[in-house]
């Protein structure tokens, strides 16, 4: 069958696209504002280029139409730390997807350990095996409720023993597949 996207409503189009473009990596993004550490997962997320080293993440609006805290903080402070999800952190990630008040921190509410590894970037989720320390590059104009944000990777944390002598990184990421989390398997 051929589905004509103009005949599908927004919610069903979202379900069809996010069940189809799988598995998607999850950017578990940490930002800061007024000393409050915000952490939230985003799976409309991909690398765009390695030179310049940029990734793109699409951030929607809150129910009330205001920008999600992550977007607000990135546009204000121009910094984001992208962490990655592994089998042990799925529950924490699910918690971080729940809408909290702007002045409430997910990491405090859900007791998530963070580590400040670089003074000039937001803290990193302590359990992540790798993290990308990014600066705001630009937003992309798109009609509708979503703001695609391009971020430039400035530095990367790689847990001890995960970078080999040929510059390959070995991590056990969990990705998004429809409404589910999926771990990677070797074939
Ligand atoms: C695995 C996963 C992936 C998500 N991907 C996105 C996404 O790509 N874009 C988006 O706007 N929201 C996404 N969400 C929902 C946000 O995480 C959620 O709206 C969160 O409350 C935003 O938090 P903030 O207001 O602190 O930025 C996702 C949720 C989960 C669990």
Note the pLDDT of residue 186: 85
Report how far apart, in Å, the C-alpha atoms of 32 and of each of 17, 51, 67, 147, 161 are. 31, 27, 15, 19, 29
Mean pLDDT of the chain: 96
How many angstroms separate the CA atoms of 167 and 187, rounded? 22
Confidence of residue 5 (pLDDT cuts 50, 70, 90): very high
Going from N- to C-terminal start, the domains of the chain cover: 5-181
Range 106-124 average pLDDT? 97
CA of 29 to the centre of ligand 1 (A): 9
47 lines ligand 1 (CB under 6 A): no
With a pLDDT cut of 70, the percent of the chain lying above it is 100
Cα dihedral angle (39, 83, 110, 65), rounded to 10 degrees?
Answer: 30
Q: Using the predicted structure, report yes or no on whether residue 40 has a pLDDT greater than 90.
A: yes
Residue 69: in which H helix or E strand, if any?
A: helix 69-77
Note the pLDDT of residue 185: 85
Fold exhibited by the domain 5-181:
Pnp Oxidase; Chain A (2.30.110)
69 lines ligand 1 (CB under 6 A): yes
Note the pLDDT of residue 88: 93
């Amino acid at each position: 069958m051929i589905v004509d996207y103009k005949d599908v409503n927004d919610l069903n189009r979202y379900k069809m696209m996010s069940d189809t473009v799988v598995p998607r990596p999850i950017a578990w993004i940490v930002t800061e504002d007024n000393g409050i550490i915000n952490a939230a997962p985003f799976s409309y997320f991909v690398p765009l280029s390695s030179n310049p080293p940029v990734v793109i993440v699409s951030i929607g609006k809150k129910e009330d139409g205001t920008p999600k805290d992550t977007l607000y903080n990135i546009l204000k402070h121009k910094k984001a730390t992208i962490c990655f999800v592994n089998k042990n952190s799925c529950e924490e990630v699910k918690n971080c997807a729940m809408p909290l008040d702007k002045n409430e921190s997910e990491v405090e509410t859900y007791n998530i350990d963070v580590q400040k590894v670089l003074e000039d970037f937001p803290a990193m989720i302590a359990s992540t095996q790798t993290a990308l320390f990014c600066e705001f590059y630009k937003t992309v104009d798109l009609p509708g409720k979503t703001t695609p944000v391009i971020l430039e990777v400035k530095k990367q944390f790689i847990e001890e023993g995960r970078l080999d002598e040929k510059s390959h990184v070995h991590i056990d990421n969990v990705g998004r597949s429809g409404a589910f989390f999926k771990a990677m398997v070797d074939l």
